[in-house]
């Protein structure tokens, strides 16, 4: 390998020796094509003509007047497939084709990454296997149907917590045995090198666009930017373009589940400590021996005990502030955006929105508060309605 993809002391390639050859192959392909003109052209035209980039920014009139600052959404929910995941999947599928791989596999939690991969499989004529925990299959039923209609095989995982971390274990296991012909489309900026840097590369367009759009429309940069963090790819995709804008405050929002003081949350950065999980050294939820704890969040896409190594570095350096939002607060924000602004946000993105509401009180009227709306909430309607009815909110 050319490097170990390290972000300070975080990152690395902590995998079985058996995965090193294929990860080396992926790294080689990534380094060869990321700046290749023909590759960039194909990627960019697929993003605009197939996926619908660029996505707009939307100023929320009612929120702005009530919260006392300009509240602006970056609309990844409008991307084809329903979330930012499409950016990364198209990039990786183009790499897989150039590497001569014959099959795509992916893990999925909320199902958005699974849907995006299934969609890419249909588009490029590659068979797809999606590994998904049975708990997630239940709560993201609609997305499972979407994967199947695209022709993907959905493999249900009974092991462990039956959610994202276990589907990653199973996908890694399958890849170890089938790496010659199979490409693993990793869904987030976690995992072994080169995935954290590769996925971030394909997602950084979110922030690049948003930065340009803010300058064009408002002639200034946002005061503060909020994005939700599970593995952390939409947040890194947003933050990267602003890291050198020292005055722009960056806030990553983790799931506090039933409360950060309980053991039912998924706040790896706020409450975890560094360890080696799924191939990289990064903050994760674990016990004193290093056994990985199960995460908990109402949002399947944030239900993960680890986080991308780049976030760990950004936390330690202080460049990004990480906070956590409970299931209850996220659901309030979900309903608020739906009822007041006519947009159904994904439960993941609702966490970012809830944190933004808190932060808004300290901003001035002219300050821009940018929130990345990583995905749309259509997939969440089942569990969302159940929750809202149980809590007497609708």
Contact set with other proteins (CB under 8 A)? 1, 4, 12-21, 159-160, 165-166, 168-170, 172-173, 176-179, 275-279, 281, 286, 288-292
The active-site residue, picked from 27, 74, 76, 107, is: 107
Q: Is the peptide bond before 194 cis (omega within 30 degrees of 0)?
A: yes
Q: How many CB atoms lie within 10 A of CB 244?
A: 8
> Which CB atom, from 19 or from 46, has the smaller least distance to other proteins?
19
The active-site residue, picked from 280, 349, 350, 374, is: 374
Q: How many CB atoms lie within 10 A of CB 114?
A: 33
Class of residue 14 by CB neighbours under 10 A (exposed 0-12, middle 13-18, buried 19+): middle
Instruction: Clarify whether 85 is annotated catalytic.
Output: yes
Instruction: Clarify whether 161 is annotated catalytic.
Output: no
The active-site residue, picked from 27, 76, 83, 85, is: 85
> Which CB atom, from 24 or from 338, has the smaller least distance to other proteins?
24
DSSP string for 296-356: --SSGGG--SB--HHHHHHHHHTSEEEEEEEHHHHHHHHHHHHHHHS--B-HHHHHHHHHH
Min separation Cβ 288 and other proteins, Å = 7
Question: CA–CA separation, 282 vs 255, rounded Å?
Answer: 17
> Which CB atom, from 64 or from 176, has the smaller least distance to other proteins?
176
Min separation Cβ 181 and other proteins, Å = 10
The torsion defined by the Cα of 339, 345, 351 and 355, in degrees rounded to 10, comes to: -60
| Tokens (6 digits) for 392 | 């007497």
Beta bridge partners of 182: 103
Beta bridge partners of 228: 253
Min separation Cβ 177 and other proteins, Å = 5
CA proximity to 103, closest of 179, 193, 19, 16: 179
Instruction: Clarify whether 163 is annotated catalytic.
Output: no
> Which CB atom, from 6 or from 64, has the smaller least distance to other proteins?
6
Whether 372 and 225 have beta carbons less than 8 Å apart is answered as yes
> Which CB atom, from 136 or from 209, has the smaller least distance to other proteins?
136
Min separation Cβ 20 and other proteins, Å = 5
Q: Which residues are catalytic?
A: 85, 107, 374
């Amino acid at each position: 390998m050319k490097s170990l993809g390290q972000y300070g002391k975080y990152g690395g390639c902590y995998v079985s020796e058996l995965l090193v050859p294929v990860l080396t192959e992926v790294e080689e392909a990534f380094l060869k094509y990321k700046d290749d003109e023909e590759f960039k052209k194909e990627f960019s035209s697929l993003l605009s003509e197939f996926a619908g980039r660029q996505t707009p920014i939307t100023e929320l009139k009612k929120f702005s007047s009530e919260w006392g600052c300009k509240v602006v959404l970056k609309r990844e929910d409008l991307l084809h497939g329903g979330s930012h995941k499409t950016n990364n999947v198209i990039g990786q599928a183009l790499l897989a084709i150039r590497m001569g791989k014959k099959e795509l596999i992916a893990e999925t939690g909320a199902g958005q990454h699974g849907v995006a991969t299934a969609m890419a499989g249909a588009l490029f004529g590659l068979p797809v296997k999606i590994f998904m925990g049975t708990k997630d299959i239940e709560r993201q039923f609609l997305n499972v149907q979407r994967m199947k209609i695209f022709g993907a095989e959905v493999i249900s995982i009974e092991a462990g917590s039956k959610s994202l971390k276990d589907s990653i274990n199973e996908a890694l296991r399958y890849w170890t045995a089938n790496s010659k012909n199979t490409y693993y489309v990793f869904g987030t900026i976690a995992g072994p090198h080169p995935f954290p840097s590769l996925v971030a590369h394909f997602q950084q367009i979110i922030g690049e666009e948003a930065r340009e759009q803010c300058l064009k429309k408002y002639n200034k940069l946002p005061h503060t930017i909020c994005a939700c963090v599970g593995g952390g790819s939409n947040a890194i995709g947003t933050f990267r373009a602003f890291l050198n804008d020292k005055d722009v405050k960056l806030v990553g929002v983790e799931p506090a589940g039933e409360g950060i003081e309980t053991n039912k949350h998924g706040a790896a950065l706020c409450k975890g400590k560094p360890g080696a999980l799924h191939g990289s050294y990064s903050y994760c939820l674990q016990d004193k021996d290093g056994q990985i704890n199960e995460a908990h969040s109402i949002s399947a896409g944030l239900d993960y005990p680890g986080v991308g190594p780049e976030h760990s570095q950004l936390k330690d350096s202080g460049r990004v502030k990480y906070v956590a939002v409970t299931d209850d607060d996220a659901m309030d924000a979900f309903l608020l955006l739906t009822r007041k602004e006519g947009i159904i946000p994904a439960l993941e993105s609702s966490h970012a929105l809830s944190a933004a509401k808190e932060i808004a009180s300290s901003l001035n009227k002219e300050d821009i508060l940018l929130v990345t709306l990583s995905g749309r909430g259509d997939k969440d309607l089942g569990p969302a309605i159940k929750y809202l009815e149980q809590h007497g909110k609708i």
